Amino acid sequence: MCKCTPSLRTLFCGRPGCEWPDQGASFTSALPSPYERELLDIAGEELAEIVTECSTICAAAITRISKIKRFGATETQPGQSFDNVHRLSEEIGDLMEVIDQLAKLGLVSMDVVEMQKPLKRAKLRRFMLHAREPG
């Protein structure tokens, strides 16, 4: 609840002089307190926004991958300034930013992400039967 206006069911009302509650609070009981529950609700809302954004970005990246497969990496669509590689790179950059935001919220561990990369690389080598890696 807001410290300056307890009747408001919010952590921070934004009125002059109002302060955010102590950020060092930790989840200590089996069931969340009202404060913890509200914080979890806010985190859930943020995640819903991120999921929506991720799905949109992923759909755009999939479209760009399809264009590369159909028309080639260096093809530039009529009316566009950049080729398919550039446009796919933009979509990947958008996705990486969303991942960075998830990490800032503590919802993604970049250490785990980095540990997962060599495992995925090994799986790719094992399961990619139709084409050899260049070099």
Instruction: List the domain boundaries for the chain.
Output: 34-108
Cβ(5)–Cβ(15) below 8 Å? yes
pLDDT in the model for residue 112: 93
First and final C-alpha spacing in the chain: 60
C-alpha to C-alpha distances, 112 to 51, 52, 106, 109, nearest whole angstrom: 20, 23, 12, 5
Q: Rg of the chain's alpha carbons, rounded to an integer?
A: 22
pLDDT in the model for residue 45: 79
What number is the average pLDDT over the span 21-37? 57
Q: What is the CATH number of domain 34-108?
A: 1.20.58
pTM for the predicted model, two decimal places = 0.57
Residue 99 structure tokens: 């991942």
Burial class of residue 39, CB neighbours in 10 A (0-12, 13-18, 19+): middle
pLDDT in the model for residue 95: 84
pLDDT in the model for residue 56: 86
- pLDDT tens digits for 98-124? 888 888 888 789 999 999 999 988 888
Burial class of residue 84, CB neighbours in 10 A (0-12, 13-18, 19+): buried
Distance CA 135, CA 120 (A): 19
What number is the average pLDDT over the span 77-90? 91
